[in-house]
Structure 1
Amino acid sequence: MRQTERHTRMSISRRSFLLTGAAVAAAAGTGFAASQAGAAPAPQAGPAASPAGDVVGKVTVGYQGWFAAPGDGAPINGWWHWSPDMSKAPAPGANSAKSWPDVSEYTRTYPTAMPDLNGGGKAALFSSWDQQTVDTHFRWMREYGIDTAALQRFNPFGSEGPTRDGMAQKVRQAAEANGRKFYVMYDVTNWNGMREQVKQDWTEKMSAHTSSSAYAHQNGRPVVCVWGFGFSDDARPFGAEECLDVVNWLKAQGCYVIGGVPTHWRTESEDSRPGFSEVYHAFDMISPWMVGRIGSVADADNFYANVNTPDQAECDAHGIDYQPCVLPGDLQDGQRAHGDFMWRQFYNMKRVGVQGIYISMFDEYNEANQIAKTAASAADVPSGSGIKALDEDGTACSSDYYLRLTGDGGKLLRGQIPLTETRPTRPVV
């Protein structure tokens, strides 16, 4: 696939349906109430949730692993996801990184055309293709108590395929070396042939990874996720029948299947297509998307009351495990509130009684929603770039702050620390 096509796809992918301010309130409050008019009575208690496994009772991080640079040896051979034009190094006005990573622990980095850092030093970036990069990321997961990683797998039948195949092997190696779990998460955005190609890819390539000691299992079955069924935008035009066919086929292969679904899957409104209830209820676990839906503590509380709590009740009634998203917030848009926004979500999800938590995302520097190590201060970002560092609101934060915060969120989920509204993680240690 050409890079221009890739970035078009990114622009309408998970960032679509952006809701902020009053729009969020409407979606979680008034809009929600309107969608319930004439709805069926609330479901009664149903089968118990699954026992603890590699996703139930665990924190999972979404892992993109989609960065590359010329000279790294990756088949894609370009500035994959770092630049809008893969043939050109990131430069002022042509840079796809919304946040700037802390690259101090990578043994190999790649110089860009961005200005030097404010504090001195060259503006260089990492490549996901380097095994040491992936090893470092999974070492961080081990050190900060993150259990499982969901490797994002977009359509592998184009030019990205060989690179994505290689990334799966690199993730497997790193997970095995660090005692972490991983699973494949198909993103079907703009994947027109997905019905048969997901089956082909799983059969011919990805199922082989389930033999790894690091491959995630739940209820004795290998875990696989499909993200994108039921969304009402043009990038995911699939009908309910073909989506249900894929879900049931994966289950017939012996898989525990997670659905990355629209925020309003339960009411089949707003970002969800109507007529998808059977698809949603076929999943073993439901993981509704939240990026772009909330951006403050007040938003998180609104969704806790009006979306997450009834979602959990619906899942309980149908024997489905519930794995909502928790996000650090868009750093560039000033959503993070030095960790208070993210901690409020952990607190709320523990109160809901969720079966698992999905962090969106580990390394999403393109959307500034990453928890991986990030520039701590203005000294650590390219001069004149306008890229915000973790101390953007005046509170100093270490580059690993959101890894530490996620680790504490995992302790809360597992009952290792008491439920508290007060964030226990210090921004700097």
Structure 2
Amino acid sequence: MAITRRTALALAAGGAAAVALAPVAAQAVTTEATEPGRARAGSPGDVVGKVTVGYQGWFAAPGDGAPINGWWHWSPDMSQAPRPGAVSAKSWPDVRDYTRTYPTAMPDLNGGGKAALFSSWDQQTVDTHFRWMRENNIDTAALQRFNPFGSEGPTRDAMAQKVRGAAEANGRKFYVMYDVTNWTSMASQIKQDWSQKMSAHTGSSSYARQGGKPVVCIWGFGFSDDARPFGAAECLDVVNWFKQQGCYVIGGVPTHWRTGTEDSRPGFSGVYHAFDMLSPWMVGRIGNAADSDNFYQNVNQPDMADCAAHGIDYQPCVLPGDLQDRQRAHGDFMWRQFYNMVRVGAQGVYVSMFDEYNEANQIGKTAETAAAVPAGSGILALDEDGTACSADYYLRLTGDGGRMLKGQIGLTAQRPTPVRL
């Protein structure tokens, strides 16, 4: 499988073990006054006190009608169907809930039947995903939006409308999450895109608001890699511009934003502290419960203190773990993160991700057993460690994590979610 942009970033930062096991010394926290006009941290809304899931919505197949007209994100060569040795998915989805799927060139499933995949372009697919969110009390979806000025633009524009419709039909909230990766003309085009296209979606009853303001997230400022080379001044200008438009602005920031080290560029403190909410990236940084505990002690607690001192809401990432790397421990890894983030006092939680089958970090329905994956593919199913899990298990676990965040169940280190109903 081709390495994705976010995975490559994690590898560049030294890998999960190197980052997670190196304690970060807590810095002294300043007591700057809260910025005038900024809502007090912890005010109720559609992201504070809520579980948000990252939603890619970036899968397509020839014949689905999408302008991109190819195996978008399913195959390293969009003109060719996924086949042995050339498939971009690390995990195989459970496709039983979809009314339309697309046959691949992969071998038949171990248990029989064609190896078929869904397309995000089909409204029924998006409706199904948002129905899963509703059924499992998942509050909000952050729609990923990469550079829309290239060939992907028309497909991404239409996906925003499909997500809006699904959110409205299922009583869920959504907001736009710009990913600035490899977006050369970002500083001007992101403003143009919001003004001319995306701001129109804030008229939806399902568009997320915080403190009465429409929510926007910008993911990627301050990362110390070549895919996001923007300087602090232009990043701060973009953040302030969105705030001038009346938006509540979330920053998807480096893991070590507070210290300005490792995956963070130095000199970005003013940018980070300009955001209304901070959501530090965690994929590739931790891989087991012990790593999560280490981060809780050495990173999350001082991060939370810094955010509190600056009147900023804190929305740390929680991830199910890379299924193909056997990180999940049938949900114990993810639950430990929920436990740690609730006990640290986080205002919200960002789950990475809902449909990230490319990195095997998805909570969406996934093949339960080897019978449901293509023969000879080497793709692992949810029972890879010998514990049978239902296809919807990580959706249900996320719902229970949200209940603990909201105080609907008590703080508990013991995972309450049964692996099968």
TM bin, normalised by shorter chain, reads over 0.9
Distance in structure 1 (CA, Å) of the matches to 2:32 and 2:287: 32
Corresponding residue for 2:246? Answer: 254
Distance in structure 2 (CA, Å) of the matches to 1:269 and 1:144: 37
Q: 1:75 to 1:14 in 2, by over 3 A?
A: farther
- Cα deviation, residue 46, structure 1: 7.0
- Cα deviation, residue 49, structure 1: 1.8
- Unaligned runs of at least 5 residues, structure 1: none
Match of 2:226 among 224, 230, 234: 234
Corresponding residue for 1:88? Answer: 80
Corresponding residue for 2:267? Answer: 275
Contact 1:297/1:340 (<8 A) preserved: yes
Counterparts of 1:26-425 in structure 2 under 5 Å?
26=22, 29=23, 32-33=24-25, 39=27, 41-44=28-31, 48-425=40-417
Amino acid at match of 2:255: T
Distance in structure 1 (CA, Å) of the matches to 2:385 and 2:127: 32
Distance in structure 2 (CA, Å) of the matches to 1:281 and 1:10: 23
- Unaligned runs of at least 5 residues, structure 2: 35-39
Distance in structure 2 (CA, Å) of the matches to 1:100 and 1:128: 15
**Other structure's SS at 2:246 match:** coil
Contact 1:73/1:129 (<8 A) preserved: yes
Amino acid at match of 1:153: R
Cα offsets for 1:57-101 (capped at 9, x unmatched):
000000000000000000000000000000000000000000000
Distance in structure 2 (CA, Å) of the matches to 1:113 and 1:329: 28
**Other structure's SS at 1:274 match:** coil
How many residues are treated as equivalent by the alignment? Answer: 416
**Other structure's SS at 1:113 match:** coil
**Other structure's SS at 2:323 match:** coil
Amino acid at match of 2:309: A
Distance in structure 1 (CA, Å) of the matches to 2:135 and 2:371: 26
1:17 aligns with 2:9: no
Contact 1:13/1:189 (<8 A) preserved: no
- Cα deviation, residue 43, structure 1: 3.7
Contact 1:221/1:255 (<8 A) preserved: yes
- Cα deviation, residue 51, structure 1: 1.5
Distance in structure 2 (CA, Å) of the matches to 1:15 and 1:412: 32
- Cα deviation, residue 20, structure 1: 2.7
- Cα deviation, residue 45, structure 1: 9.6
Q: 1:393 to 1:145 in 2, by over 3 A?
A: same
Distance in structure 2 (CA, Å) of the matches to 1:206 and 1:18: 36
Amino acid at match of 1:348: N
Cα offsets for 1:358-378 (capped at 9, x unmatched):
000000000000000000001
Q: 1:294 to 1:46 in 2, by over 3 A?
A: farther
- Cα deviation, residue 319, structure 1: 0.2
Amino acid at match of 1:51: S
Contact 1:146/1:410 (<8 A) preserved: yes
Distance in structure 1 (CA, Å) of the matches to 2:57 and 2:11: 18
Distance in structure 2 (CA, Å) of the matches to 1:13 and 1:19: 9
Distance in structure 1 (CA, Å) of the matches to 2:81 and 2:255: 36
**Other structure's SS at 1:198 match:** helix
**Other structure's SS at 2:273 match:** helix
Distance in structure 2 (CA, Å) of the matches to 1:55 and 1:341: 23
- Cα deviation, residue 22, structure 1: 4.8
- Cα deviation, residue 157, structure 1: 0.3
Distance in structure 1 (CA, Å) of the matches to 2:301 and 2:270: 21
Amino acid at match of 2:226: D
- Cα deviation, residue 15, structure 1: 6.2
Contact 2:7/2:284 (<8 A) preserved: no
Cα offsets for 1:401-428 (capped at 9, x unmatched):
0000000000000000011110000111
Distance in structure 2 (CA, Å) of the matches to 1:11 and 1:346: 22
Q: 1:77 to 1:125 in 2, by over 3 A?
A: same
TM-score for both structures, normalised by structure 2: 0.96
Amino acid at match of 1:213: S
TM-score for both structures, normalised by structure 1: 0.94
Amino acid at match of 1:78: G
**Other structure's SS at 2:215 match:** strand
Contact 1:79/1:85 (<8 A) preserved: yes
Distance in structure 2 (CA, Å) of the matches to 1:8 and 1:382: 22
